[in-house]
Amino acid sequence: MRPSIRPSIRPSIRTAAALSALAVTAAGVAWATGPASASPATVNVVGYSIASPVYNQLEAAFQHTPAGQGVTFHNAFGASTTEAENVVAGQSADIVNFSTGPDLDLVKAAGLVSANWATSGVASAEHGFVADSTVVMVVRAGNPLGISGWSSLTHAGVKVVTPNPSTSGSARWNLLAAYASQTSQGKTKKQATAYVNSLLQHVVAEPSSGSTALTAFLAGTGNVLLAYEADAKHAVGAGDAISIVYPSRTFLIQTPAALTNTGKAKPAATAFFNFLFSRQGQNIFATQGFRPTVPAVAKATASQFYKPSSLTTISQLKGWYTVNTTLFGTNGAITKLEAANGFSA
């Protein structure tokens, strides 16, 4: 029996009215008040779950710089879309770093981030992307099933864990990687969709976020986890009994970050945001398994990361608007497959 998944609203079908209603509903929630927002030297960071460990390192390093003296941080990390919705609903946020562009667009649509967030300031050269990663496969130590790539995931006995695409950016990247593993070989969209359907028949759990998916896997659920390369490397570094399978065909994960309107008004938040794109900040991303986006640092750290034979980007699939409409929207192909395979959205 497949696990029941708590229903939630997909970001691709949200309307401006729904966003406004969400903000009104949360008006009584004390996110925007209290200790988290009381001091101009407190920086509120909100992001997707997998980024939590690297931000602990980034913040500690920043506090040892002249600009970081006396600065404290209040962090909120969780499922990317859920965190974006929380910010729209009133959660304090000076800096946001989500898993996907559409999650950041939710905050932009609510007027909390400037319309030109990706093309102005220190992040403009990287189009707003603060760090990259790729989709990999995490298996039990020693790879007892001999998983070698995407074709292995539909073999008998394979039990896959991947997050819920209605709440998790990681989940959408994972399923896009599965889809693109077929189209990058010249297969048709119909063939790619059929492969995703076969894969979903082997999925035994869809936790709410990338981090909760890893936690479930480490606790014994399934025998293959689809994950961020950075999260998998962090788990290996923590001594978890896993191995990483690097598929020859995978997807480039690009994670956007932006200063909110309140962040722009805080010198400490602006200084920390600039630090994220500095050589020191980008090197910290690299040491934590993320691929730097600043070209000089990316080049200097390239040997730390594997080079897949095929690395598909969201732009090659004509961008998030097209992807959400055709694959993850209400009538999207993957949305329908999720429902057909027993997963609610």
Beta-strand pair 249-259/95-97: antiparallel
The burial of 190, by beta-carbon neighbours within 10 Å (0-12 exposed, 13-18 middle, 19 or more buried), is given as: exposed
pLDDT < 50 stretches in the chain: 1-38
What gap in Å lies between CA 253 and CA 168, rounded to an integer?
13
Predicted pLDDT at 39: 62
Predicted pLDDT at 81: 96
Predicted pLDDT at 345: 59
Residues in the chain: 345
SS3 label, residue 147:
coil
What gap in Å lies between CA 221 and CA 292, rounded to an integer?
32
pLDDT tens readout for residues 66-117: 999 999 999 999 999 999 999 999 999 999 999 999 999 999 999 999 999 9
Domains of the chain, with CATH numbers? 11-131+253-304 (3.40.190.10), 133-252+308-340 (3.40.190.10)
